[in-house]
Chain A
Amino acid sequence: MAIYILRRVLLMIPTFFAISFIIFLIVNLAPGDPGEMASSQGQESAGESGSKREATRIFKEQFHLNKPVVFNFRYGIKEEEILQYISKISKQMAASTKELIEAEEILENYATYALPALASIIEKTDNDEIRNTAIRVFRDNARGQQFREYRSISGKEARELLAKFDQENSNRKQENFQEYQREALYFVNKEIGKRNEYVRSLVYEKNDPPEKKKEVKDKILAWYKERVSWYTYSFWEKVRIAFGDTRFAHYWYNLLHFDFGISHVDKQPVMAKVLDKLRYSVTLSLASIFISYLIAVPLGIFSAVKRNTLSDKCITIMLFMLYSLPTFFVGTLLLQFFSSGGDYWHIFPTGGFIAREYVDMTTYEQLKSLLWHICLPLICLTYAGLASLSRYARSGLLDVIRADYIKTARAKGLPEYLVILRHAVRNGMIPVLTLLASVLPVLIGGSVVIEFIFAIDGMGSLMLLSITAKDYNTIMCISLISAVLVMLGILLSDISYALVDPRISFK
């Protein structure tokens, strides 16, 4: 048994990798870019859409969105390709607005990989316009990235700086590693900031004299030649870039450190956000699962005992009618009829998870307020699941009710209710119990519709918001957690079969 479990757990690792890869591909290749959410559609504010480029660039750098998804072959960009984009931007080649925007974006994404080509364009070209544009793009692309964390420091330049810092402070590394890391990070950022400032200062205006322009050009080329080793790569470095400097590789590198990244939307750690929302969804789903078992199992038993009678049929029809009612419809009706904002019985609050003044309440009052608030959403969550559960219970019981040992029990002279409850139900409920394990992912999934209608800020609404905002890290995090839970659930249900039913073993 232990070996079996171990084997299953080990198998989960490659499965997890494959799942994460597929989800990552789907999420990243879906059309559209992450960025600002469209809060009010169609409405735009004048005076705000100006120089967003800079902000977008920082945003992209921060989340590696300027990198290719799976493979990175940018170390070998052809000069002609860059020249083509540059001539489009500088209007030396006819291009539509769409192509212009694309060209700017592609050059921006190439970042430092475009520098060798750009330098050679600046050196060779006779066309003033092309040179101007190339210098501008060079200046933007040569800007080094500053880092958020010690761990995320990467790139040739940064590593060189880090080595320098290590050398200078080699004796201090053991003392206080955290402080050491922080100082190293600050050192790297500072040095990169300094040289960014220098690169940024290499500007000329359109009307400047040719001498000034030449001076800037020479300075740029000199700067590049001094650092040419940063931007040319050996074979092994190319291999490393091809597989390592991609969105997927960066994501997995963080994942191995149990870091799910930070959300694009509010820049908070994703995991903390998910855990925060989890309490709402878990409370709701646990309660609803508990209640639906409490109602559905006795109903199923009743139906099985009285099978094919009028009452069995009535229950079945009732449950399936409930099953077919859409939750958004029932939710709205419930609010309209039973909430204090509706037109009829002012019993329940209009939504939310708990009263907003809950901080000033005693535990007992908090509990009361909580129950009061989740009553209506619970009804919505529960009623639809009743049908299938009670069917499981009914068929499970019917399977055993004809068994020999039930006949024996009856023959023994036991009263009917004891026969059913003590002998039949115990065995008949095994399939229903094992169903519980598969419920695991549902626990954290939450319900988009119900959370929306009742204004509960749980996992469902988090997922919905993340998808509309294309918040890759949050989507990935939630999907991966569900994937793990599904795998665990399957394993648990297999194990529980073996535990409950002695006929099954994994030897």
Chain B
Amino acid sequence: MEKGQTFVTISKIVLWTLFLGFFLFFLFQIDNIERSLLKIRQEISDLKRNQRFSNVSSSPVATQESQRKYLHPELPNFLEPDPFNYVCEEAVMKGKLDGTLVQRWPTDPKGFNFIIENDGSLRQKLEVFCIEPAAYDHWNDPEKYAPRAAERIEVLDDYKTWIFYFRRGMRWHRPSLKDWSDPQYRWLKEKLDKEEQYVTAYDFAFYLDMVLSPQVQSGHLKNYYEKVKEYKVLDDYCMVVHWSEKQYQSVSAMTQMFRPLPRFIYEYDKEGNKIPKENVGTAFNTHWFNYNVIGCGAYQFVSHEPGVSIKLTRNESYWGPKPNIKDLVYLIYRDSKQVLLKMKSKEQDLADVIIHEYVVDENKNPDSPFSKGDILVKEIPVVGYTYIGWNGDHPLFSDKRVRRAMTHALNRKDILKNIVLGLGILTTGPFYPDSRAYNKKIEPHPFDLDEAARLLKECGWEDNDKNGILEKEINGKKINFEFSFLVWNTSEQWKTIAQIYKEDLYKIGVQMNIRALDWPVFQKMMNNKEFEAFSGYWLINYDADPYQLWHSTQADIPLGSNRVCFRNKRADEIIEEARRTFEGEKRAKLFHEFHEIMHEEQPYTFFYAPTDEMVYWKYVKNVILRKERPHIFSLPYYIDK
């Protein structure tokens, strides 16, 4: 090779290297510039927010507080302050009033309009933080209510008239639209820049308007408010609601479910035109703002990236004590098997449910953060119960002795210990074992096959043809004691339990066939009453109203929840009386009697109140559970990394 050629090659290489170097340098510079721009953006938005808070104290309405007059000053306030203070002293002392808590949200929410959407995650993970209800139940006592958006509630007229005095100076959060620069939202921006929007009694009245409007798809709320006769706004911060009947349901409907709805957004269409009154209901179902949340609570909605995450941040201008944690983040993913991975990689700090087998496996592995004590496991008692329902209208199970025999044949204690692995509490009735309504004197029917066989014999079931299966003559026809038991096909646990039950029943001459079904098919069969027995799981409230599940009228209406066709005159009386009784002691007494009837009649074989397991990293401190759902309520928690 000649000298000249070598020189050319070398200079080519040098030139290329230089060029590449410049290019990389250029890229690096651009990256730096972008980073500084991002920083500036961050600072500007912080500045803007601080500016917003600086005039909180000078708000004109706050000063009027002392001059407030009540219509009935002689009446006691229905609300009592909650003795539990969620701001953790330890966190304040350590100066840990910051940090992010990352949790899971199972599937993308269909929308954030809490009147239309009936979604447990939405209710328990977002609504409770963002939208301030009129009142909220006490942390440790679900039967008492603490003031939130309402400072005072006067109840008169035998619980038929409720007068609300709302807190003054509660602002609506500034909505976080994805793109504020979009010209079509200019009207909203101008409106918000011009004046702050406060939560008023009109917003609460608007909530009732929407819930009760026949055009609005608010099925899950409507039946709570069916008996509202009329409501009237007296002034900006005072309103009155009249009920046509005395009804215990009205307590929760008028406290924790009673939330304000921003009129200044929902009465306008996307371009800022006011929607006529008659059209608001129709427009509400598909309103442009349904994919956004605007509230007035302790946390403010920041963003929702479909399929990625939902973010909330602390509302610094909140009227009450500010929670310890600054940001709440929910990762959206559907695969529940990912929970373990995300927890171990610290992408997630707290998981509300985890498959028990994973915890067991991890504890066996000495290198796992579970066995090292870095990830903690806590049991959450769920207010609910699992059961086996018997079709009371079916000739096999119309006799209560037969149903009791079925309960005797289910080995509840051993199943709970070995199959459910102890994650549950045995129940004997339709209430939560820890609640006041639950009659603790009732002993569960023991597992006793001889007693079961005796009861069946007493009812005329005998094995005359010696084929191992009992039979009886009903309406002139010989019937074998054979039935199908419906379980839903994704529950391995119920399938196992059904197998054990099947074997035990076979010993006393009862043939049970297990049918594992898809949930929609399962539901349809229950609605059509085309079943003999099924497995079920009810989530209830601490203070349950048995009407929907147990009143005899609910057995006869199509799609009613009394699917087992339970009809008992005394039980109906108790249910109706309890609906009109507001005093805790009296209610408990009534429910204890109701519980006894249930124990005697056994329309369900009550099984157990399940326990979930939550896991969290040990740097999440002060993890305490609320008694009523949502059990995981992160206001007192703090992060100490």
Which residues of A are at the interface with B, using a C-beta cutoff of 8 A? 32, 36-56, 58-59, 62, 96-98, 100-101, 104, 146-148, 182, 186, 189-190, 193-194, 196, 200, 262, 265-268, 276-277, 280, 335, 339-343, 346, 349-354, 356, 359-365, 452-453, 455-457, 461, 465
Contacts and interface: CB of A to CB of B under 8 A. Distances in A.
Contact of B219 (A38, A54, A354): A54
A56 B343 CA distance: 39
Contact of B548 (A49, A186, A277, A453): A49
B528 A38 contact: no
Contacts of B223: 50-51
Interface stretch (B70-78, B102-110, B397-405): B102-110
For the complex of A and B, 7 pairs with smallest distance between CB atoms: A457-B307, A341-B341, A50-B223, A55-B219, A341-B345, A455-B333, A340-B345
Contacts of B545: 47
A146 B222 contact: no
A346 B345 CA distance: 8
Interface string B338-380: 1011111111000000000000000001011000000000000
B340 A341 contact: yes
Given A48-B118, A266-B291, A340-B346, 20 more contacts: A43-B539, A44-B537, A45-B538, A45-B539, A47-B540, A50-B219, A52-B219, A54-B214, A54-B217, A55-B217, A96-B528, A101-B559, A340-B345, A341-B344, A346-B345, A352-B308, A352-B333, A362-B31, A363-B31, A457-B308
A343 B365 contact: yes
B513 interface: no
A307 B315 CA distance: 70
A101 B558 CA distance: 6
A172 to B, nearest CB: 16
B219 A51 contact: yes
Contacts of A43: 384, 537, 539
A97 B562 CA distance: 13
Interface stretch (B54-62, B169-177, B272-280, B454-462): B272-280
Given A353-B308, A457-B306, A52 B220 contact: yes
Contacts of B500: none
A335 B333 CA distance: 15
Contacts of B523: 38
Interface string B524-565: 000111100001111111001100110000000011010000
Given A46-B548, A339-B345, A98 B539 contact: no
Contacts of A32: 520
A339 B109 CA distance: 27
A147 B309 CA distance: 34
Contact of B341 (A56, A350, A456): A350
Contacts of A44: 536-539
Given A47-B545, A50-B548, A42 B217 contact: no
B282 A39 contact: no
Interface of B: 27, 30-31, 34-35, 38, 42, 106-111, 118-120, 214-220, 222-224, 226, 269, 273, 275-276, 278-279, 281-282, 285-286, 290-291, 303, 305-309, 329, 331-335, 338, 340-347, 365, 367-368, 384, 488, 490-491, 494, 519-520, 522-523, 527-530, 535-541, 544-545, 548-549, 558-559, 561
22 contacts: A36-B118, A43-B384, A47-B540, A49-B220, A51-B219, A52-B219, A54-B222, A56-B219, A62-B285, A101-B528, A147-B282, A193-B278, A267-B286, A341-B343, A350-B342, A354-B308, A356-B305, A356-B309, A362-B38, A363-B31, A455-B334, A455-B338
Contact of B539 (A46, A200, A353, A453): A46
Contacts of A48: 118, 220
A455 B38 CA distance: 28
Contacts of A267: 110-111, 285-286, 290
Contacts of B118: 36, 48
B120 A45 contact: yes
A269 B49 CA distance: 33
B220 A356 contact: no
Nearest to A273: B306
A47 B224 CA distance: 8
Contacts of B215: 58, 146, 193
Contacts of A37: 107
B286 A262 contact: yes
Nearest to A458: B307
B107, B491, B520 pick with most chain A CB within 10 angstroms = B520
A459 to B, nearest CB: 11
Contacts of A52: 219-220, 559
Contacts of B535: 42
Contacts of B285: 58, 62, 267
A100 B549 contact: no
A62 B303 CA distance: 29
B287 to A, nearest CB: 9
Contacts of A186: 275-276, 278-279
B306 A276 contact: yes
A194 B276 CA distance: 12
A361 B34 CA distance: 9
A339 B545 CA distance: 48
A2 B39 CA distance: 55
Contacts of B368: 343
A48 to B, nearest CB: 5
A356 B308 contact: yes
A104 B558 contact: yes
A276 B491 CA distance: 34
Contacts of B559: 49, 52-53, 101
A362 B345 contact: no
Contacts of B490: 41-42
Given A148-B282, A465-B107, A42 B488 contact: yes
B548 A190 contact: no
B548, B558, B561 pick with most chain A CB within 10 angstroms = B558
B549 A97 contact: no
Contacts of A39: 106-107, 119-120
Nearest to B329: A356
Contacts of A350: 338, 341-342, 345, 347
Contacts of B384: 43
A42 B491 contact: yes
A97 B558 contact: yes
B11 to A, nearest CB: 28
Nearest to B344: A341
A56 B558 CA distance: 14
A101 B527 contact: yes
Contacts of B220: 48-50, 52
B282 A189 contact: yes
Nearest to A89: B558
A178 B520 CA distance: 43
B355 to A, nearest CB: 14
Given A36-B118, A182-B273, A148 B308 contact: no
Contact of B519 (A42, A97, A104, A196): A42
A41 B519 CA distance: 6
A453 B34 CA distance: 34
A452 B334 contact: yes
B270 to A, nearest CB: 11
A364 B119 CA distance: 38
Given A189-B278, A342-B341, A42 B537 contact: yes
B256 to A, nearest CB: 13
Contacts of B538: 44-46
Nearest to B557: A100
A469 B160 CA distance: 41
B540 A46 contact: yes
Contacts of A101: 527-528, 558-559
Contacts of A342: 341, 344
A353 B34 CA distance: 22
Given A43-B537, A47-B541, A59 B106 contact: no
Contacts of A42: 488, 490-491, 494, 519, 522, 535-537
A416 B219 CA distance: 77
